[in-house]
Structure 1
Amino acid sequence: MKELFLLAAVICFGMAILKFYSARMGRSTSAPQDAGNSRAAISAEEAKERLEANPDAILLDVRTQEEYDGGHIPGAVCFPNEDILPELPLPFEKDAEILVYCHSGRRSAEAAEKLKHMGYTNVADFGGIRDWPYETTTD
């Protein structure tokens, strides 16, 4: 009887863990982007159009300083993803247009989400510099 009770408890605990993780995965990967969401994923082409349309837009490279020095998009500001912390707000207005990129898109998505939670309202993630078909510089 004890073994049966223990087995039932383990099964219930396992089911609860599965439900928790599947709910988290569903929320983070399939959440639709809507007008109320301050982080949007855009293409490199759209990012270039936005930069041309708004010269005050902030182009944020969230790679390391070494990666940035090896080549970056002209006009980009290097601010590594690891340095974006809620207790250290960025020196940008909360409603400034911020376009974020990294190498492949993982860190830029993470940085954009952090910025959203810090209260920045106009953040767009265009993924990685490896998908940027335009000019880059080492200046």
Structure 2
Amino acid sequence: MTNNPLGRIIPQQPPIEPQSDAHALKSRLEWGEPAFTILDVRDRSTYNDGHIMGAMAMPIEDLVDRASSSLEKSRDIYVYGAGDEQTSQAVNLLRSAGFERVSELKGGLAAWKAIGGPTEGIIESRTPAGADDYNVVSRMQNHLENQRKEV
């Protein structure tokens, strides 16, 4: 007996990879899957300027303490920093602290913006919303197009 009664209707998402690209994360967001967290490990002022919509600010200096007190060790976590080196360092810190399902978001915020992922923040708020930001039908069409793309 399965504990997912909608399993035949709603397919399971694949397990989180050690490294993910922006398309994989955007696909999960568009799918509406709630069981993951996005962490921005850059400094607070950089985060305030602009970040992936819904990302939590956890500067790398207090990352382990804050993550340990607020997130379950088995939660899917996507991490991005100022560059791939900072991202990798943050992921290694989390894994060393016992977090099991952590993924480096390759390319970080720049890669996310390049595929039209939603952002928020002081600078980002001055950028007009994309055509699909508030339109569910357009978001579903974009989701289907992203599924067809080669990664």
TMscore range, shorter length: 0.5 to 0.7
Asked if 1:64 corresponds to 2:43, the answer is yes
TM-score, normalising length: structure 1: 0.65
Identify the residue that residue 111 of structure 2 maps to in structure 1: 131
Identify the residue that residue 62 of structure 2 maps to in structure 1: 83
Identify the residue that residue 96 of structure 1 maps to in structure 2: 75
**Aligned mate of 1:119, from 86, 98, 110:** 98
CA contact (8 A) 1:104 1:130 kept: no
Q: Which runs of 4+ in 1 moved over 3 A?
A: 85-88
Name the % identity: 30
Structure 1 residues not aligned, in runs of 5+? 1-37
Structure 2 residues not aligned, in runs of 5+? 1-15, 123-151
Following superposition, the deviation at residue 91 of structure 1 comes to: 1.3
Identify the residue that residue 22 of structure 2 maps to in structure 1: 44
Identify the residue that residue 32 of structure 1 maps to in structure 2: none
Q: Which stretch of the first structure deviates more once superposed, 71-80 or 50-59?
A: 50-59
Q: Which stretch of the first structure deviates more once superposed, 96-105 or 38-47?
A: 38-47
CA displacement, residues 80-117 of structure 1 (integer Å, 9 cap, x when unaligned) = 11212469824111100101111322211111111111
CA contact (8 A) 1:72 1:129 kept: yes
Number of aligned residues: 102
For the aligned residues, what is the CA RMSD? 2.3
